[in-house]
Structure 1
Amino acid sequence: MPLTNTPDPVETAEKPLDPASERLQQRLTRLVRTSGFIMALGLIAVFSVILYRTIGGGGKTVRTGREADITVPAAAGAQILSSSLDNGALAMVVEDGAGRSVVVVDVASGAVLARVRLVSGPVAPAP
């Protein structure tokens, strides 16, 4: 009795496939290759988009118009605490001697659209 468990080469020889099975095997091989090729193209496309955007080619471009000097009437010693720009309207939180207020200015014309004074005190109940 041999010490190794090697199969007999005569017993393990593959039998040739019949023509129908061989055609099926060729079709499946072609299908797997085509699917692999399409998947590789998809991965290349995804990684190229990621690379393109990380390099900086896919960001939004901010169109700057003309520079504008806008004069907003405010009390002496007033400070702008924060500002936000949205759709051509500039909202600023301004603090002066009377307290804080929100001033909304149209950037294109420089006109004050709204001025809201923030007051502290008791809140009136809703009717």
Structure 2
Amino acid sequence: MALQWMILAYVVAAEAAIALLLTLPSPKLIKSRIVSLVSLILQPAIGIVPFAGFQLLDIYWKNEHRLMCTAEVCTATERDRYEKTIYKAQRNVILCVAACLLYWCVYRMAKYYKEIEKLEEVEKRYKDQ
């Protein structure tokens, strides 16, 4: 299970770096190359969305079937273990949501930049006529 969360964490870090790269000001030629590269990467990277969704369902299922340790019968060790699993689940939910949200942001930024390029081309054609 730890490998899945490590992969998801790396994907979130990569998506955040790409989003930062897309938002940084750069020359038009470099920006268009970056956007075209990101656009090529986006289609295979859509697999992260169902992966994160499956992980969210897994967290939900484990939360519903987790043994509660809130009574006086539990020892301090059991209580600490229970709280630790709750904190890990909350962290993993944030990671899944961040993966989906960052993917959507990168997708929209790339799409908007392509639309701006098309509009600039149309404007240039009208000015030339």
TM-score by length of 1: 0.32
Higher relative contact order (CA 8 A, sep 6+): 2
By percentage of residues, which structure has more strand? 1
The structure that has the greater radius of gyration is 1
By percentage of residues, which structure has more helix? 2
